[in-house]
Amino acid sequence: MNLAYRVFHNRLWEIEFCKKYSLGIEYRIDHDSLLEEGRKNARFLENLDLPKAFHYPSWGDNIWLSHSIEENRKIAIEKFKGYLEICKLINAKVVVIHDEEPLGGIEPYIRSLREIVRISRRDGIKIAIENARTNPFFLLDLISGVEGVGLTLDLGHANIQLGGDGTLRFMEKAMERIIHLHVHDNHGIYDEHLVPGDGSLNYGEIMQKLKEINFDGMAVLELSWDIDPESGIRKSIEFLGNLL
């Protein structure tokens, strides 16, 4: 497991903590309207010798892969290609994409996922869909017929969606698809983004399960901006290190 930290395109000063503590970086542009600014700032990561992933925008116009209008779906694919260029620039090996409630239907969503897998494979980049909006078991079933799509298991989201025992059951069922993690904590009610160990997630059992499934991907710390970054990083490293 390679510990990493989430760095938004407008918080580049946090890169210094990643360098100091030898953490990988998940570079994130949160809204599609910020593409050009995010592309420009990505150059600060270009020659950085740390593992990197990229988080696709969560919001924006015509970024939804499940759009029922074919013209809009194709626009989303073209936008994805643009973000793939950022991945290539910073040498990111995984693209994290929030799941979608496929209001346009399952068929266009599956078609889009197959297209972006085919496109990203050319550059050795993996797709990892995150359990942000839908039940993780539904998401797993959804992608089961799409070869090459992996999962980003957001542990904090899973604690709210499934509870602690449900999260462990899901990890057991989805072990072959989980290629990326988002690591934070909460009390199972809302998305607090606490330091691991400060909520109700049983990280002892989670870490044991990760060992059992031989997880060797990136585990990205996603801490609330209300938490001092360096303090949160140090506390997370100490807590998770004691469980390894």
Q: How far apart are the first and last CA of the chain?
A: 10
Number of residues that this document lists for the chain: 244
Model-wide pTM > 0.85: yes
- Of all residues in the chain, the percent with pLDDT exceeding 70 is 100
For the chain, the maximum distance between any two Cα atoms, rounded to a whole number of angstroms, is 51
Is pLDDT above 80 for 103?
Answer: no
Backbone phi, psi, residue 129, to 5° = -80, 135
Task: Give the CATH fold of the 2-241 domain.
Answer: TIM Barrel (3.20.20)
The three-point CA angle 128-72-35 to 5° equals 60
Q: Give the domain ranges of the chain.
A: 2-241
Cβ neighbour number for residue 228 with a 10 Å cutoff: 11
Per-residue model confidence (pLDDT) at position 101: 84
Residue among 239, 238, 232 nearest 206 (CA): 239
Q: What is the pLDDT of residues 174-233, one digit of tens each?
A: 999 999 999 999 999 999 999 999 999 999 999 999 998 889 999 999 999 999 999 999
Helix (H, G, I), strand (E, B) or coil at 182: strand
Q: Label residue 104 by pLDDT band (50, 70, 90).
A: confident
Is pLDDT above 80 for 60?
Answer: yes
Give the whole-angstrom CA distance, residue 142 versus residue 232: 35
Is pLDDT above 80 for 244?
Answer: no
Is pLDDT above 90 for 22?
Answer: yes
* CB 220 within 8 Å of CB 181: yes
Q: Label residue 17 by pLDDT band (50, 70, 90).
A: very high
